[in-house]
Amino acid sequence: MECFLRIKALRWQDWQSFFERECCELMMDCGGVSDIEFYQDPEDPSIYGYFLNCSDIDVLNHFLESDQFGDLMNMHGAIWDLMAVDIAQTKYN
Give the torsion sign (CA, 91, 40, 46, 10): positive
pLDDT value, residue 35: 92
* 30-86 confidence digits (pLDDT tens): 989 999 999 888 898 888 888 888 888 888 888 888 988 888 877 766 667 666 677
Give the three-state DSSP class for 79.
strand
What domains, with CATH codes, occur in the chain? 2-87 (3.30.70.100)
Strand partners, 40: 48
CA distance 32 to 29: 6
Share of the chain residues as helix, strand and coil, in percent rounded to the nearest 5:
35, 40, 25
pTM of the model: 0.74
